[in-house]
Structure formats: structure tokens, C-alpha cells
């Protein structure tokens, strides 16, 4: 308390130096890489929030009929139309990948580099599967005439919202897959053996869990609403 009152009493350059020193002390226990990842994820949260809020605003105010997601995203399975089957599989894959990523972080804490690397690679493969399914979903809608500027099924805003939101998230997953594979090969090559610090596994895990969490909101607001 006394230190804070002293900092407040100072003005000019000494006061500025004290302010910066206080912040440095507050974050001194947070590793640099982890701190930067949290800042990045916070900024990304704002972007995705703006996208989803904009989507909900357009959805509620659009005067043209909005396509029914359960019909638009249905697939023919053994001659029957199954609503949202592909989206359900994609969601299951991402949730599973979140579990394998958590196990990889746990193996990183234990300094078991082989198991950590294998689990990271499995996570990357699940992420790549998700991106492949998303590409199939895009190609299906494009073949049916859906575009960012037009939509034969109803409101033209549907295509713009769909390609913008799912595309931005798909880019995050794609970059995440590359990031995971890069970390996995460095772990396997023993890059972190000397320091014994596998903090990078936790950092990439933070990114991946964020991507999974964002998909849960996209799934709820875009596909179920």
C-alpha cells in the first residue's frame, strides 16, 4: 500500500517509471510465450464476438426468409436425409482433439516427449480431418448455388455470414494444424531436452482449446439456431 501511494505521489518521468515497474512485477511470474498467447487469444475473442454478434443482428433483422440450417446442412445417408450429420461429426472430431491435446500437455509436464509428440500429431490429424470435412461442406453449398452475395435458398446474407464465419474459423484450424506439427517435430528432435521445459506444448494447447471453444459457439448460434 505504501509503495502504491509513493508511486501515485510521483509525477513526470519518475511516476511513469514506477507505473511500468509495478506492471512488470505483476506479470513477472507469467512466462513470456504464455502471456503473448493469452493476449493474442483475447484479441481473437473480440473478432469472433463481433462476427457472431453481427450474424445474430442480421439474422434477427433480415426481412427475407432465412434458410433452415437443418435442411441446408442435411446429407443423404442410405437414401434418407439426415440433418446436420456432417456438422455433428465435425463437432465430435474437434471435441475429441481437445481431449488428445489435453493429454499431450499432461505428457509434456511429465517430460515424456514421445507420448506428447504422438498425441500432438493425433490432434493435428483430427484437425486436418475437420478442415477436410469443412471443405466438403463448402463445395456442397457452392454447387447448390450459395455465394457470399447470393443464395437461392433465401436470404443473401446467409452466404456472406456462412463463408465469413466458418472460413475465418477454418483458417484458424488450418494454422493450428501447422503449428501443432511444427511443435511435434521439435519435441521429437529433443529441442527442449536440455532446458527440460515443455511449456510450448501448453502454449499450443491454449491455442487449440480456444479454436475448439469458438467452434462450440459457432455450432450453437449458426447451425442450431
Task: Check residues 156 and 174 and name the one with the higher pLDDT.
Answer: 174
Residue 10 has pLDDT above 60, yes or no: no
Task: Check residues 146 and 28 and name the one with the higher pLDDT.
Answer: 146
In terms of Cβ atoms closer than 10 Å to its own Cβ (0-12, 13-18, 19+), residue 198 is buried
pLDDT confidence bin for 147, thresholds 50/70/90: very high
Task: Produce one character per residue of 5-22: b if its CB has 16 or more CB atoms within 10 Å, e if not.
Answer: eeeeeeeeeeeeebeeee
- Chain center to CA of 101: 13
pLDDT confidence bin for 80, thresholds 50/70/90: confident
d(CA 87, CA 5): 56
C-beta separation of 218 from 49 below 8 A: no
Question: What domains does the chain contain, in order, with CATH numbers?
Answer: 31-223 (1.20.120.80)
pLDDT confidence bin for 2, thresholds 50/70/90: very low
d(CA 182, CA 204): 10
Mean pLDDT of the chain: 88
Task: Taking residues 69-93, report their average pLDDT.
Answer: 90
Q: 12-26 vs 2-9: helix axis angle to the nearest 10?
A: 150
Task: Produce one character per residue of 64-75: b if its CB has 16 or more CB atoms within 10 Å, e if not.
Answer: eebbebeebbbb
What per-residue confidence (pLDDT) applies to 55? 94
Task: Check residues 219 and 5 and name the one with the higher pLDDT.
Answer: 219
**Prediction pTM value:** 0.84
Rounded to 5 degrees, φ, ψ at 111 are 60, 30
Q: What is the DSSP letter of 80?
A: E
What per-residue confidence (pLDDT) applies to 30? 66
Amino acid at each position: 500500500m505504501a509503495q502504491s501511494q509513493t508511486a501515485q505521489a510521483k509525477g513526470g518521468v519518475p511516476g511513469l517509471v514506477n507505473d511500468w515497474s509495478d506492471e512488470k512485477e505483476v506479470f513477472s511470474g507469467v512466462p513470456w510465450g504464455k502471456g503473448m498467447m493469452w493476449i493474442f487469444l483475447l484479441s481473437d475473442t473480440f473478432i469472433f464476438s463481433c462476427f457472431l454478434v453481427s450474424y445474430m443482428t442480421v439474422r434477427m433483422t433480415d426481412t427475407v426468409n432465412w434458410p433452415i440450417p437443418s435442411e441446408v446442412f442435411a446429407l443423404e445417408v442410405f437414401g434418407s436425409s439426415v440433418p446436420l450429420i456432417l456438422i455433428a461429426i465435425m463437432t465430435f472430431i474437434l471435441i475429441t482433439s481437445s481431449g488428445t491435446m489435453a493429454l499431450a500437455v499432461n505428457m509434456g509436464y511429465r517430460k515424456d516427449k514421445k507420448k506428447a509428440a504422438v498425441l500432438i500429431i493425433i490432434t493435428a490429424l483430427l484437425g486436418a480431418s475437420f478442415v477436410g470435412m469443412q471443405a466438403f461442406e463448402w463445395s456442397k453449398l457452392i454447387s447448390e448455388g450459395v455465394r457470399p452475395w447470393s443464395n437461392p435458398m433465401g436470404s443473401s446474407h446467409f452466404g456472406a455470414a456462412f463463408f465469413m464465419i466458418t472460413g475465418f474459423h477454418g483458417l484458424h484450424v488450418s494454422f493450428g494444424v501447422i503449428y501443432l506439427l511444427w511443435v511435434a517435430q521439435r519435441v521429437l528432435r529433443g529441442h527442449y531436452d536440455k532446458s527440460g521445459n515443455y511449456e510450448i506444448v501448453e502454449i499450443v494447447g491454449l491455442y487449440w482449446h480456444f479454436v475448439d471453444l469458438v467452434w462450440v459457439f459457432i455450432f450453437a448460434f449458426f447451425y442450431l439456431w
